[in-house]
Amino acid sequence: MPGSPMTLTVAIIGRPNVGKSTLFNRLAGRQLALVDDRPGVTRDRREGDARIGGLRFRIIDTAGLDEAAAGSLEERMRRQTEAAIEAADVSLFMIDARAGLTPMDQHFASLLRKRGKPVILIANKAEGGAGQAGLLEAYSLGLGEPIALSAAHGEGLGDLHDALEPCVALAGEADIADELPEMDEDADDGVERPLRLAIVGRPNAGKSTLINALIGEERLLTGPEAGITRDAISIDWDYKGKAIKLWDTAGMRRRARVTEKLEKLSVADGLRAVKFAEVVVLLIDATQPLERQDLTIADFVAREGRALVLAVNKWDMVKDKAAALKELKLEAERLLPQLSGMPVVTLSALTGKGIERLMPAVMEVYEIWNARISTAELNRWLAEQVERHPPPAPSGRRIRLKYMTQARSRPPTFALFGNQLSELPEAYIRYLINGLRMDFGLAGVPLRIHRRGGKNPYEGKSG
């Protein structure tokens, strides 16, 4: 029977060895399914209670979809998978982004489309930017925009949360996970999904004081001692009619003798809040701006694809404000080119001065993060860029850039088509990214350009 009126049932579907059981274990929060590099380890349906962020639902792990002879073990495994599809309200159809699309993927995608039930397309094994070719190919399956995900590393879960959230709301289930207070505490009422805003920074930067000032009440414990906030705390807030989900996070500081790995930060909840946020405010102390830890946090925000606002607290303690602001902006541009043009807001959380400028900056960068540019506009722009500065000609053969289209937003991500793109220098990609920022007003958000050879699948389509 499909999911009960109060619980959504989700089945993970795909050919063997694409990572279904790994995702099942991650969503279930424990090692329930056996995982191995060999295909076909999972044979029976396995069910469990899952959660992602504040969403709770029932999850089903299935055997890999495969062509099989009648009466064989593989054919019986496939029947089990088909039964899971029938029982589920939503199917997560998973492909291996690194391997790219296979005829089997296309065959089973066609079957899922005919079922008429919601399908969320997942391009797995996409960590570290791997599998971009497979990710772009996945659009041709006709199942909507694919989600780039790494089940093994937990990357892309914020996008999966966004895709599942409307389905869970329709099923009437959006309970808060008790152990994750930083995630959604209440179900969306279907009228508006809150903008998810995380306030992050080093200990004693003034995060809790800032949130108290924003919402106009002493909601969070504050004090001069560093590290008062231990857990990520979520607060529902209305800003000029816009629903906001605010997360206050514990200060991010490194453990003793750890100098490089962001994963070794003492407060993992803050990192998880970033993954589930849409906009992140990085709060720094004006008396000690842009330390190494701030840069590490900002780089993590960019790699997660979130929009960033740099807020400079304790500004009332700065004497030469004009000189300090000029130097800070120059340093931010130099050290954080991946977020070039990000808003910089100076304020005092304690006195309230300058706080009125923070939320307008947040809303502006949120709109940029969601920006869409038509294919026609992009290709006119690309032609101008190439004419102004042609690509190089390695071995005497000039690289040809044929087309560009926006593959997705949140953050703006573009597909560039042409020949010899593997020879296109990173410097030229940076030239294009800088041009996109300047000409389309895409400041302060990560921009991504994926190189794609061969025929342009968007040719002939309006954009």
Pairing mode of beta strands 233-239, 279-285: unpaired
- Give me the mean pLDDT over the 3-27 stretch: 78
Nearest to 150 by CA among 129, 127, 122: 127
Extract long-range pairs of 260-266: CB within 8 Å, 24+ residues apart.
Answer: 262/296, 262/297, 262/299, 262/300
Task: Write out pLDDT tens, residues 93-113.
Answer: 998 988 888 888 888 888 788
Q: Are 389 and 408 in contact (CB under 8 A)?
A: no
Token pair recorded at residue 358: 């923070």
Write the class of the CATH domain 195-369: alpha beta
Task: Write out pLDDT tens, residues 222-276.
Answer: 334 333 333 346 678 889 989 988 876 655 554 443 344 443 443 455 677 788 8
Q: Are 90 and 10 in contact (CB under 8 A)?
A: yes
Q: Are 420 and 399 in contact (CB under 8 A)?
A: yes
Domain regions of the chain by residue span = 9-171, 195-369, 375-453
Binned at pLDDT 50, 70 and 90, residue 357 comes out as very high
User: Given this chain, do its domains 9-171 and 375-453 carry the same CATH topology?
Assistant: no
Using the Cα atoms of residue 256, residue 258, residue 259 and residue 260 in order, give the sign of their dihedral. Answer: negative
Token pair recorded at residue 74: 């593989």
Binned at pLDDT 50, 70 and 90, residue 63 comes out as low
Nearest to 199 by CA among 104, 306, 112: 306
- Give me the mean pLDDT over the 345-359 stretch: 91
Predicted local confidence at residue 43, as pLDDT: 34
Nearest to 306 by CA among 273, 269, 331: 273
Predicted local confidence at residue 308, as pLDDT: 94
Separation CA 431–CA 388 (nearest Å):
11
Predicted local confidence at residue 130, as pLDDT: 67
DSSP 412: T
Q: What are the φ and ψ backbone dihedral angles of 19, each rounded to 5 degrees?
A: 110, 20
Token pair recorded at residue 40: 């076909």
325: part of which helix (H) or strand (E)? Answer: helix 321-335
Nearest to 228 by CA among 247, 211, 196, 204: 204
Collapse the DSSP code of 447 into the 3-class scheme (helix H, G, I; strand E, B; otherwise coil) and give the result: coil
Write the class of the CATH domain 375-453: alpha beta
104: part of which helix (H) or strand (E)? Answer: helix 103-115
The predicted model scores a pTM of 0.58
Q: How many CA atoms lie within 13 A of 17 on its CB side?
A: 7
Binned at pLDDT 50, 70 and 90, residue 281 comes out as very high
Separation CA 224–CA 286 (nearest Å):
16
Q: Are 58 and 10 in contact (CB under 8 A)?
A: yes
Span 9-171 CATH architecture? 3-Layer(aba) Sandwich (3.40)
